A and B are shown apart, each in its own frame.
Chain A
Amino acid sequence: MGLLDKIRQTFGSQPASEVAKKRLELILKYDRAGLPPNAINAVKDAILEALKDFPFIDINGVNINISENGEEREKIEIEVPVKEK
């Protein structure tokens, strides 16, 4: 590795350990829920597609998450806000 790469690595990017931590936190979230890693995005796309024609729904505010309440069965929670009057 050249000096320039060293400097770039030192100042530019995150340490590998931090990257590992972030990746693991995400991986475990899906592993624990028993979901494939891209499940949420796929569900979200399908939901948005289904909702897009309803004028009273605030499409930009739709929120999809894996619930993390430690319950026995994991849930995918979908929040669908109604547009402001």
Chain B
Amino acid sequence: MADKVICVTSGKGGVGKSTVTANVATALAAKGYRVAAIDADIGLRNLDLVLGLENRIVYDIVHVVQGVIPAEKALVKDKRTKNLFLLPAAQTKDKSAVKPEDMVKIVEELRDKFDFIFIDSPAGIEEGFKTAVTPADTIIVVANPEMASIRDADRVTGICEAMGKPEPKLIVNRIDPKKVARGDMLDVNDVVEILSLELLGIVPEDPNMVSYINRGEPAVLFEESIAGKALRNVAERLLGKEVPFMDIRVEEGFLEKIKKLFGGS
């Protein structure tokens, strides 16, 4: 499979890398694929929280790099989804504890044992980002429909290109159809046009996301979650299926327009 080692990155922080990683990895594992998710955000371990696995961690990625334990043995088995495994980040202050060549080695150790290996990149464009991207053969850039995030996504795209990587695929996260209809927020089409990247997913703003994360339960496991559905679609597209993009526009009726004009929202 060409899309086997997948790095999820963004430049800007807090746009949804860990959310996308945890959910798409879960969706693929739920379909029966063997999936490993590596948290490459050294010092700011978070992927374990989204998956609800924080209490099960014994070893982390730095132990693997130091040779204390082989990568496969350090993996935490997911509690809900069979076939899903997490390699936690370390909480060390030394961000350079894992070098690009270390990550390449870890991925090589795991490659034959998994159908997919996800790497959840730290924010920024420093060494940690490069470490996360280096072993990847597919890069997913997550962006919010927002100025700074789009600019950073473009920067990251340029750096990936300079690293000789294939062009990243784009996930636009946290689209709010109401704000788009009001003309306050950029539309997905605008974002795609500005960045000119292949679109892999459109994930709407989901008011329940905070509660899924608070419970440590990925949104893809819930039929009723709209973000969950969008993220399941991403998993299908990674499997090469052509899934139409969800239409998340809101119809703005005449009444809404009048109300807006007169100060309502």
A6: chain B residues at CB < 8 Å are 260-263
Partner of B151, one of A7, A15, A31: A31
In the complex formed, the residue of A with least CB distance to B158 is A32
Interface contact A16-B184, CB-CB below 8 Å: yes
User: Is the pair B187, A17 in contact by a Cβ cutoff of 8 Å?
Assistant: yes
Also in contact, A7 and B147, with CB within 8 A (given A16-B183, A17-B180, A21-B190): no
Contact B150 A24 (CB under 8 A): yes
Could you tell me the distance between the alpha carbons of A27 and B195 in the complex, rounded to whole angstroms? Answer: 12
Indicate with 1 or 0, residue by residue over A1-29, a CB within 8 angstroms of chain B CB atoms. 10100110010000111101101110110
Interface centre among B180, B182, B186, B187 (most CB of A within 10 A): B186
Q: Which positions 174-193 of chain B face chain A at CB distance < 8 Å?
A: 180, 182-187, 190
Query: Considering the chains assembled together, what is the distance between the CA atoms of A24 and B187 in angstroms?
Result: 13
Contact A32 B183 (CB under 8 A): no
Contacts of B262 in A (CB 8 A): 3, 6
B151 touches A28 (CB 8 A): yes
Which residue from B155, B180, B187, B260 sits with its C-beta under 8 Å from A10? B260
Among B151, B182, B184, B186, contact of A21 (Cβ-Cβ < 8 Å): B186
**Once bound together, how far apart are the Cα atoms of A23 and B182, in whole Å?**
19
Q: Count how many chain B residues have C-beta atoms less than 8 Å from C-beta atoms of the other chain.
A: 19
Complex-state Cα separation, A40 to B56, whole angstroms: 56
Q: Is B154 an interface residue (CB 8 A)?
A: yes
> In the docked arrangement, what's the CA distance between A67 and B151, Å?
20
* Pairwise interchain contact B183-A31, C-beta atoms closer than 8 A: no
B261 near A15: Cβ-Cβ < 8 Å: no
Give CA–CA (A6, B261) in the complex, Å. 6
Distance from B244 Cβ to chain A, minimum over Cβ atoms (Å): 24
Contact of A23 with B263 in the complex, beta carbons under 8 Å? no
Q: List CB contacts (< 8 Å) of A58-80 with chain B.
A: none
B194 at the interface (CB under 8 A from A): yes
8 A-B pairs whose Cβ atoms sit less than 8 Å apart in the complex: A1-B263, A6-B261, A15-B182, A16-B183, A17-B186, A20-B186, A23-B147, A24-B194
**A-contacting residues of B (Cβ < 8 Å)?**
147, 150-151, 154-155, 158, 180, 182-187, 190, 194, 260-263
- The 9 A-B residue pairs with the shortest CB-CB distance, nearest first, are A15-B183, A17-B186, A21-B190, A16-B184, A28-B154, A24-B194, A17-B183, A20-B186, A24-B150
